[in-house]
Homo-oligomer: A and B are copies of this chain.
Amino acid sequence: MNNDVVHRVDCPSRVILDQIADKWSMLVLAVLSEPRRFNEIKRLLEGITQRVLTQTLRRLERNGMITRRVLPGRPLGVEYSLTPLGRSLQGPFGELYDWTVSNMDAIQAFQRAYDSRTEQST
């Protein structure tokens, strides 16, 4: 990371980072390793509401990460799939995910230590 520039408010990377570096975007992108339909994604991502999912999908679509395709036939069907751009994000996100998994235990240990150091006794 170039520390001389990242922090500037006018650096476009900050704006972009804002768009992609959030939990749901990452998870949606992960789940879309293969094309999926709306409710399918929703089912896979336990805890997301359709409202938030819709917003996330729209944002990803606007940013050119995913494609929305209306399936012919009834009842309605919509399929989302990664664009090449979206797929190219799997690398960096994968790194981050792997790091998280590798260091999960260490982090939780730190948290416990911090909390016991912090919390007031009865």
Contacts and interface: CB of A to CB of B under 8 A. Distances in A.
Interface of A: 1-3, 6-9, 12-14, 16-23, 26-27, 30-31, 33, 44-47, 61-64, 85, 88-101, 103-104, 106-111, 114-115
State the copy count for this chain: 2
B31 A7 contact: yes
A66 to B, nearest CB: 11
At the interface, is chain A mostly helix, strand, loop or mixed? Answer: helix
Given A22-B22, A33-B3, A94-B1, A13 B100 contact: yes
A52 to B, nearest CB: 14
Given A88-B99, A110-B62, A104 B16 contact: yes
B99 A92 contact: yes
Contacts of A111: 62-64
22 contacts: A1-B97, A3-B31, A6-B27, A6-B30, A7-B27, A7-B44, A9-B46, A13-B97, A13-B101, A16-B100, A17-B96, A19-B107, A21-B23, A22-B22, A62-B110, A62-B111, A62-B115, A64-B107, A64-B111, A85-B103, A93-B96, A95-B95
